[in-house]
């Protein structure tokens, strides 16, 4: 497992954006984000590894937000249920978007032909034969370029 400093750097934005969506208050979301990481450090032995670290952190964040609501009694329970229902998959969506952004930033570092093949494959959902035809290459060339590109993406930081 990563050390807490790496975890903090990697997941701070995800947790903070998630809390900002819940709280609609930048100061409160930042305060709760700090508390989330404090609790994570304190309870790291309870992390079983059966979910992503980001999901675990967002669960801690959501519980802290609910505690904050109950402590301040500013929102009634039905409002909380409505907000949670609206944001049912919010943490997964934020994580997915962050991962996609990281992927596209890595793709930008590839050579132009590999980049084009990968874009056509993942955003255009095209077959290798279609990609080869578009780029005036063979189906096999498109397939090999795509898989080599995928391997390069694993190495790119």
The reported pLDDT for the residue numbered 108 is 83
The answer to whether residues 68 and 131 belong to one domain is no
Q: How confident is the model at residue 44 (pLDDT cuts 50, 70, 90)?
A: confident
The reported pLDDT for the residue numbered 43 is 84
Helices (H), 24-138: 26-42, 53-72, 77-86, 90-107, 112-122, 128-134
Query: Is residue 77's pLDDT more than 70?
Result: no
Query: Is residue 143's pLDDT more than 60?
Result: yes
pTM (two decimals): 0.50
For 53, the domain range is 4-99
Pick the last residue of a domain from 66, 99, 132. Answer: 99
The answer to whether residues 89 and 113 belong to one domain is no
The reported pLDDT for the residue numbered 157 is 61
Pick the last residue of a domain from 71, 99, 127. Answer: 99
The answer to whether residues 44 and 85 belong to one domain is yes
Query: Is residue 109's pLDDT more than 80?
Result: yes
Q: Higher model confidence: residue 16 or residue 101?
A: 16
Return the minimum-mean-pLDDT range out of 36-40, 101-105, 109-113, 145-149: 101-105
The reported pLDDT for the residue numbered 148 is 92
CA distances from 91 to 2, 10, 17, 56 (A): 21, 15, 9, 10
The reported pLDDT for the residue numbered 142 is 92
Q: Higher model confidence: residue 133 or residue 96?
A: 133
């Amino acid at each position: 497992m990563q050390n807490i400093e790496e975890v903090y750097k990697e997941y701070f934005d995800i947790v903070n954006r998630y809390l900002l969506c819940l709280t609609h208050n930048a100061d409160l979301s930042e305060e709760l984000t700090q508390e989330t990481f404090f609790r994570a450090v304190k309870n790291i032995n309870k992390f079983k590894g059966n979910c992503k670290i980001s999901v675990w952190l967002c669960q801690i964040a959501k519980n802290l937000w609910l505690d904050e609501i109950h402590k301040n009694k500013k929102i009634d329970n039905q409002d909380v249920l409505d907000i949670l229902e609206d944001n049912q998959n919010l943490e997964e969506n934020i994580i997915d978007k962050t991962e996609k952004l990281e992927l596209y930033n890595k793709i930008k570092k590839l050579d132009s032909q590999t980049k084009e093949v990968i874009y056509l494959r993942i955003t255009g959902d095209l077959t290798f034969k279609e990609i080869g035809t578009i780029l005036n290459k063979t189906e096999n060339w498109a397939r090999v370029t795509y898989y080599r590109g995928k391997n390069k993406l694993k190495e790119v930081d």
